[in-house]
Amino acid sequence: MTDLTPDERAMTEGRDGPAAAMAMRIVAETARILGAERLIPVTSAHVDGCLYHGDSGVYFVERLVELEGRVAVPTTLNVGALDLIHPERVHADPHATDMARRMMAAYEALGCAPTWTCAPYQVGHRPDPGEDVAWGESNAVAFCNSVLGARTNRNGDFLDISAALAGRAPYYGLHVADNRLATVVVGTASLSDRLKAEDAFYPVLGAWLGAEVAGAVAVIDGLPADMPEDRLKALGAGAASNGAVGLFHVAGVTPEAPTLEAALGGRPAEQRIELTPEVVRAARDALSTAPDGPLDALAVGSPHFSIAEFDALEERLAGRRASRPFYACTNRQVLRSLEASGALARIEAAGIEIITDTCIVVTPILPAGGGVLMTNSAKFAQYTPSNTDYEVVFGSLGDIAESAVAGRVVRDEAAWN
Amino acid sequence: MELTRGRVLVAGAAAGPVLRLAEPVSFWGGVDPRTSALIDPRGPAPGAEIAGRVLVLAATRGSSSSSAILLELLRGGRAPAALVMAEVDAILVIGVVVAREMGWPTIPVLELPLAGHAALEDGRAVRVTEDGAIVTA
């Protein structure tokens, strides 16, 4: 049985209005089903439920708006099914377009910030270590727990917005300190420094981790201490989309792993896995469903591309132009920064089309007819074959730039051999 | 005849033929929200429709949007007759909770450890009772 405080009980009975009551009943009932003893106050939310999957989700959020709901904590929004800045770049049918627009408007009407990004942590939404929050979207959850050290479960659609309105979440899972300790140790001593310096190693490591440990908490040992944030972002996105990882630790890098022992909480590991170059190589190859050859399109930006990632892409292209359709998915804040710095004109002149507010695997954007898509994202590699009519080839950012110019897959294998 | 008994997570009575899936399934990307057909060619029983079945799941995986797919099935009348899960799935149950709040049809949800699944032969006609018993129809 879930114990509600007098305050929480008053909310379910309508003290703070009918929308807060409905949200609190959903949170409390979910807590009861999950066996949570109580609820916990949360200080922020990130909502994944704003992506259109069918009319029922639109009616749900519109009900909350009719009941005059307002979020009780700062809340950011994940991607929707439309690019509101470049609407002509999405080719959804008229009904889906209309309903997706209604859905996005309703979430804004509840007081959520129209961030429309799967990387809210790179547009200023960064809770402190130890803070309890209620986030949705698998990569955002993994980053929030692992890199920021804040605490959230992998919240399903509708529980995220309910928690935002109620200001509470069920107290279980990754809110409980003990459940955040690693039980699996991943060793990387036999991998070369060259490989660890390669951007594309991190999404591959994530995809391997997700498949290997499913939902267990792992600590990875032996990675460089000065790891850029975008590598941790790619690692988490790979692990979350290829498994059910909500939290991972990197010894000497992430906040709950100052040392290997600290990440384990002083307990012995239940499992130890030593990575080999062969395993990493096989994990990389498993991200492709098509052989190397001619390409029909390229895409980057899952999670949404950062300024640093755009800089790196520009550097790799070195003034050359893509010969195939090339999509870079990002958010409005990054778009504005690119405009302000003058980079946007150069990026567009290189043949790159920028997609904001959404991405290529959640709504129709890629040219009709299908073909082979190349990406440096483990998450795009995971979802492209099932959500679009494209096969996928995975490569590094450097490979992407060379392949975009050549129109076929070009690889630098030095790091992987 | 009582075949087995689960722990009641959401109470209700239902009847239908068993559809037992031994491999993990993700509702988002795995179930067509309009037809209820299983659509992942790499997943279990591709092509089978889950509507009206007593769906027995060994495991679930994947996206946090699976709750949205189940809600869509419930509103459209294409949901399973009942859900029987080896371990409670935090994401899937939200679809049922929200459907009830919206006044749409809901379904019973039971937790039944894997060992109990053997009693539920695929295709067998069964009834689920309010107190969590699964009996021959």
Phi, psi of A106 (to 5 degrees): -65, -40
Nearest CA in chain B to A54: B72
Residues of A in contact with B91 (CB under 8 A): 154-157, 159
Q: In the sheet that A134-135 helps form, which strands lie side by side, from edge to edge? A: A75-77, A45-47, A134-135
Let me know if residue A417 belongs to a domain. no
Let me know if residue A30 belongs to a domain. yes
Residues of B in contact with A66 (CB under 8 A): none
Of A25, A35, A157, the CB nearest to B64: A157
- A229 and A119 in a common domain: no
- Residue ending a domain, among A265, A285, A305, is A285
Mind listing the pLDDT tens digit for each residue in A161-208?
A: 999 999 999 999 999 999 999 999 999 999 999 999 999 999 999 999
pLDDT of residue B62: 64
- A201 and A259 in a common domain: yes
How far apart (Å, rounded) are the C-alpha atoms in residues A218 and A250? 8
pLDDT of residue A215: 82
Mean pLDDT of all residues in chain B? 94
Q: Does A27 touch chain B (CB under 8 A)?
A: no
Let me know if residue A58 belongs to a domain. yes
- A210 and A164 in a common domain: no
Say whether B63 is catalytic.
yes
The CA R_g of chain B, rounded to the nearest whole Å, is: 13
First vs last C-alpha separation in chain A: 55
CA distance A371 to chain B (A): 19
| Contact between chains at B64 and A51 (C-beta distance less than 8 A) | no
Nearest CA in chain B to A63: B102
pLDDT of residue A284: 98
In A89-146, DSSP assigns E strands to 134-135
Let me know if residue A414 belongs to a domain. no
Q: Does A22 touch chain B (CB under 8 A)?
A: yes
CATH number of A71's domain: 3.30.499.10
Mean pLDDT of all residues in chain A? 97
Catalytic residue among B63, B65, B66, B67: B63
| Contact between chains at A56 and B76 (C-beta distance less than 8 A) | yes
| Test the B interface: residue of A135, A158, A161, A242 with most B CBs within 10 Å | A158
Number of domains making up chain A = 3
Of B33, B90, B94, the CB nearest to A54: B33
Nearest to residue A135, comparing CAs of A256, B69, A143? A143
ipTM of predicted complex: 0.95
Phi, psi of A95 (to 5 degrees): -65, -50
How far apart (Å, rounded) are the C-alpha atoms in residues A298 and A311? 17
- Residue ending a domain, among A257, A285, A313, is A285
Contacts of A161 (CB under 8 A, 6+ apart): A23, A45, A47, A49, A61, A64, A71, A75, A107, A110, A112
- Model-level pTM greater than 0.80? yes
CATH number of A237's domain: 3.40.50
- A165 and A75 in a common domain: yes
Place of tokens 């930006």: A301
Please say whether the beta carbons of A318 and A351 come within 8 A.
no
Q: Quick check: A86 pLDDT over 70?
A: yes
Let me know if residue A1 belongs to a domain. no
| Contact between chains at A56 and B68 (C-beta distance less than 8 A) | yes
- A160 and A45 in a common domain: yes
- Residue ending a domain, among A144, A171, A198, is A171
The arithmetic mean of pLDDT across residues A95-108, rounded, is 97
CATH number of B67's domain: 3.50.30.10
Residues of B in contact with A212 (CB under 8 A): none
Strands B125-128 and B133-136: antiparallel
- A300 and A278 in a common domain: no
- A159 and A71 in a common domain: yes
- A245 and A197 in a common domain: yes
Q: Quick check: B70 pLDDT over 90?
A: yes
User: Would you tell me which residues 270-309 of chain A have a C-beta closer than 8 angstroms to some C-beta of chain B?
Assistant: none
The arithmetic mean of pLDDT across residues A289-305, rounded, is 98
The arithmetic mean of pLDDT across residues B109-128, rounded, is 96
| Test the A interface: residue of B63, B70, B92 with most A CBs within 10 Å | B63
Residues of B in contact with A34 (CB under 8 A): 88, 90, 93
- A73 and A160 in a common domain: yes
| Test the A interface: residue of B64, B100, B101 with most A CBs within 10 Å | B64
Residue contacts between A and B (CB atoms, under 8 Å): 105
Structure tokens at B98: 């929200």
The arithmetic mean of pLDDT across residues A101-118, rounded, is 98
How far apart (Å, rounded) are the C-alpha atoms in residues B28 and B66? 5
Domain span at B32: 2-136
In this prediction, residue B60 has a pLDDT band, given cuts at 50, 70 and 90, of confident
Of B34, B72, B97, the CB nearest to A29: B97
- A292 and A272 in a common domain: no
Let me know if residue A176 belongs to a domain. no
| Contact between chains at B101 and A59 (C-beta distance less than 8 A) | no
Q: Does A383 touch chain B (CB under 8 A)?
A: yes
Let me know if residue A190 belongs to a domain. yes
CA distance B62 to chain A (A): 6
Q: Is the peptide bond before A291 cis (omega within 30 degrees of 0)?
A: no
Phi, psi of A300 (to 5 degrees): -135, 165
Of A29, A34, A383, the CB nearest to B88: A34
Number of domains making up chain B = 1
Nearest to residue A27, comparing CAs of A53, A4, A6? A4
- A249 and A122 in a common domain: no
Q: Quick check: B63 pLDDT over 90?
A: no
Please say whether the beta carbons of A307 and A338 come within 8 A.
yes
Strands A45-47 and A134-135: parallel
- Percent of chain B topping pLDDT 90: 80
- Of A208-217, A222-231, A271-280, B128-137, the range with the lowest mean pLDDT is A208-217
How far apart (Å, rounded) are the C-alpha atoms in residues A290 and A389? 13
Let me know if residue A415 belongs to a domain. no
Domain span at A355: 288-406
| Contact between chains at A51 and B65 (C-beta distance less than 8 A) | yes
Phi, psi of A211 (to 5 degrees): -70, -35
Nearest to residue B70, comparing CAs of B43, B102, B44, B45? B102
Instruction: Fill in the amino acid letter for B40.
Output: D
| Contact between chains at A33 and B68 (C-beta distance less than 8 A) | no
Of A33, A59, A383, the CB nearest to B102: A59
- A303 and A245 in a common domain: no
